[in-house]
Structure 1
C-alpha cells in the first residue's frame, strides 16, 4: 500500500473548469450527508468533492413560492467551504431549471448534480423520478440540457445506475444521452435499480461505459469500503474518479485513508474506539446546535448506529440508542453501551500474557 513507484499516478478530476483533487467524491445520501456530517468529513480531509443530501426540486419550489424556509437539506450550503455539489431530483425540466438556477446564482454551488439513480419506491414509482427516468432517455436529455442552459457556467452532472433491472441494462445508451445533453461528468452506481443495495456492484460494467464517452469523465460508485478498494478501482478499471457512499457514514476518516493510499503514503490507522466515540459525540453536538435537543437527538439515532456498525456489542448499542429522545438519555447510552473494547485486542493481550 505504501509503494507509490509501481502505481500509476491518478490525475485530478476535471468537471468543466472545476479541478477535484484528490478524485475521491463523497456521495449524496438522503438523510445522512447534511452539513454536520460534511463538517466532520472535512476535518479528516481526503474528500475532493462533498455533496448534500438529494433535494426534492418540486418541494424546494413550493417552499420558495410560499416564502418558507428553504429545505433543511440545504442547511449550511450558503456558507460552507467549496467545492460542494448539490444533488436535485424531479422529472420536470422547468421545475429542475428553477432550482438549478437558484443553486448556481444564489447559493453559488460548485456542481449541480441530477439524481437519475435513486431506486426508492417513493421517488421512482410514486414520483416517476430518480432511476425511473432511465426508461425515458428523451426526458433525461431534456432535463439535463435545460439545467446546463440555466446553470452555466456552473457544471451540471448526472448520477445513474446500470439500468432499471438486470434485463434492461442501458447504461451505455444513457451515457451517450448524458454527454450529448451537455453534462460535465457522469457517475455510475454499479447496480440496477431493482438490485437496490443487494449483491455486489458490477465494476466491469461501470468500466465498459468509459468507451461510450467522448470527453466527459466517468466516476465509479459502489462497495468502496476501504483504502485498498479505492486504489484497486483506479488500477483495475477505466474510471476517472470514485465516489464513496455508505461505508463513510460511520467512518468519515475513510476519505483521508483512501487519499493517502492513492498518494502512496502510509494509510492512517483507524481511530481508536474511544476516538471514534468522541467523533460521534462531536457530530451529535453539531446536529443538536442546528435542530435543537429533542429533534437533534432523534435525528442522531441513525448516525450513532452507523458509528457502531461492525463493532463488538453494536447490536446492544443500537437497541438502546434507537429509543433515546433527550441528551441525557443519549449520553447515558453512549457511556454504557458504545463499544470501547475490541475483542481481538483482548484475545491478543491474553495470549501475550
Structure 2
C-alpha cells in the first residue's frame, strides 16, 4: 500500500486530551447562533441520532429548552429521491417546529443535490445538515460517513452540490463531521475549509475519529484548531457534553460558537433547560427527583404514541430509553425489566406509580456516560481506500451500496 498524501492535521493546543480542569467556568456568554437566515437563541444543537431524535423526542427536548436547534434523524439522499415512505416521514415536521432541521447522508453529488432540492423545494425543512460523521462499520466499509472526506474531490462536490441545490429556496446547509479516519488520516481542517469555501452556513466537529468510535475522551483541542482555521462561519463543538458545565468549559477551551449535544441528552431531555440557563448566565440547574423523572417518561410515552399513531408501537419504542432515564436512581432489577417490557400507556403508568417516587436527585450518579461507548477499533474502509485521496472507479461503484438504508445509525 502506498503512503497517503499529506493531510492537514492539528498541532496539540490547549489542555491535553482528557485534562478538563473546570475551575472558574469563565466561558463567555454566547450570542444567539446564526444558521443562514435563522437565529437560534440558545447556541445549542440536538445531534441527530437514529431511532432517538424522532418528532416525539424533539418535542420533549424543545419543551425543556425552546431556544435550541433540534435536528431530525438522518435520512439517506437516495431514500428521499426514491420517495421512501419512512424517509419522507422522518423529514415531516410538526407545526411549531422552527427552524425545521433535517440531516441528509449521501455519497453521490447528484443524488444529494436532488434530495436537498426535494427537501427545500417542497418546504419540508428550513435547514439541511450533511452527515460526514457516522462511524458505523456498515457505512464506513462502503466509503461513507466519517471516512468520506478522505476523498477530498468527492467531498467538495457533494457539499457544493447541496449548497447550490438549496440556495434558490433560501435554505442553509451545514456540515457535521469527525476529525478523520484515525490519527494518521485526519481530514477535519481541510474539510472545514472546503465547506466554508463552498458556502455552508456552519460546520460542526465531533472531536473523535472514526477509529475512536464513541470511546475515550473527545479531543476538544481539535475544535479549537478548527475554530482558528474556519473564521467566517460558526464552528460548533460536539463530544462529551454531559452537563451544562461541560458546555461552558468547551466554549472556554475552544472558542466555539455553539455546542452539539448527542448522547448526553439520552434520558435527560431537561439538559436543554440547563444549557439555556448556563448560556444566559444562570447557575440554576434541573435536579429531578424520581417522581419528576417518572412524569417525563410518561410524557415521552404519550408523545411516542402520538408520533407512531399506535400506542403499542410507541411504548415499545420507548423501552430503549428506560435505562437512560433511570441511571443513578434506586430502581430494582424487576422494576427495570418490567418497564423495559411495557406495551401500553396504562401499563407504563402502573409500573411508574409502583416505583419509590420519593427519591431525590442522585447527583453525579445520574449524569455522565450513557448510550454507545465501546472501545477504539480499526475503521472498516473499502480495500485500498487509503492509497489515494482521489476516488477510483472501483470505489465509486462501492459507494453506491452505501445508501441502501433509510437511516444510517
SS for the counterpart of 1:115 is strand
Q: What is the RMSD computed on CA atoms of the aligned residues?
A: 2.4
After superposition, the Cα gap between the structure-2 partners of 1:143 and 1:229, relative to the gap in structure 1 and judged at 3 Å, is same
SS for the counterpart of 1:113 is strand
1:78–1:107 Cα contact (<8 Å) kept: no
Residue 90 of structure 1 pairs with residue 106 of structure 2: yes
2:301–2:345 Cα contact (<8 Å) kept: no
Residue 140 of structure 1 pairs with residue 158 of structure 2: no
Match of residue 17 from structure 2: none
Match of residue 227 from structure 1: 244
Shift of 1:149: 0.6
Shift of 1:262: 1.9
After superposition, the Cα gap between the structure-2 partners of 1:173 and 1:108, relative to the gap in structure 1 and judged at 3 Å, is same
Shift of 1:72: 3.5
Residue 48 of structure 1 pairs with residue 48 of structure 2: no
Of residues 253, 262, 266, the one that matches 2:270 is: 253
Gaps of at least 5 residues in structure 1 are 346-353
Shift of 1:318: 4.0
Shift of 1:80: 3.5
After superposition, the Cα gap between the structure-2 partners of 1:338 and 1:157, relative to the gap in structure 1 and judged at 3 Å, is farther
Shift of 1:81: 2.1
Match of residue 12 from structure 2: none
Residue 274 of structure 1 pairs with residue 294 of structure 2: no
Q: How does 1:303-342 map to 2 (within 5 A)?
A: 303-313=321-331, 316-336=334-354, 341-342=359-360
Q: Aligned equivalents of 1:343 and 1:286: distance in 2? A: 24
What number of residue pairs does the alignment pair up? 338
Match of residue 296 from structure 1: 314
Q: Aligned equivalents of 1:124 and 1:338: distance in 2? A: 45
Of residues 201, 214, 231, the one that matches 1:197 is: 214
Q: How does 1:145-156 map to 2 (within 5 A)?
A: 145-152=160-167, 153-156=170-173
Match of residue 10 from structure 1: 30
Q: Aligned equivalents of 2:240 and 2:332: distance in 1? A: 21
2:289–2:359 Cα contact (<8 Å) kept: no
CA offsets per residue over residues 82-125 of structure 1, 9 Å max, x none? 11211010101121112211221223522100000011122222
Residue range with higher mean Cα deviation, 306-315 or 268-277: 306-315
After superposition, the Cα gap between the structure-2 partners of 1:261 and 1:31, relative to the gap in structure 1 and judged at 3 Å, is same
1:308–1:339 Cα contact (<8 Å) kept: no
Shift of 1:17: 2.4
Q: Aligned equivalents of 2:73 and 2:139: distance in 1? A: 14
CA offsets per residue over residues 267-309 of structure 1, 9 Å max, x none? 1332221111111101101111232022112111112232112
Match of residue 80 from structure 2: 60
After superposition, the Cα gap between the structure-2 partners of 1:55 and 1:151, relative to the gap in structure 1 and judged at 3 Å, is same
After superposition, the Cα gap between the structure-2 partners of 1:170 and 1:315, relative to the gap in structure 1 and judged at 3 Å, is farther
Normalized against structure 2, the TM-score is what? 0.76
Residue 110 of structure 1 pairs with residue 126 of structure 2: yes
Gaps of at least 5 residues in structure 2 are 1-21, 364-409
More helix by share: 1
Moved over 6 A (4+): none
Match of residue 348 from structure 1: none
Shift of 1:35: 0.8
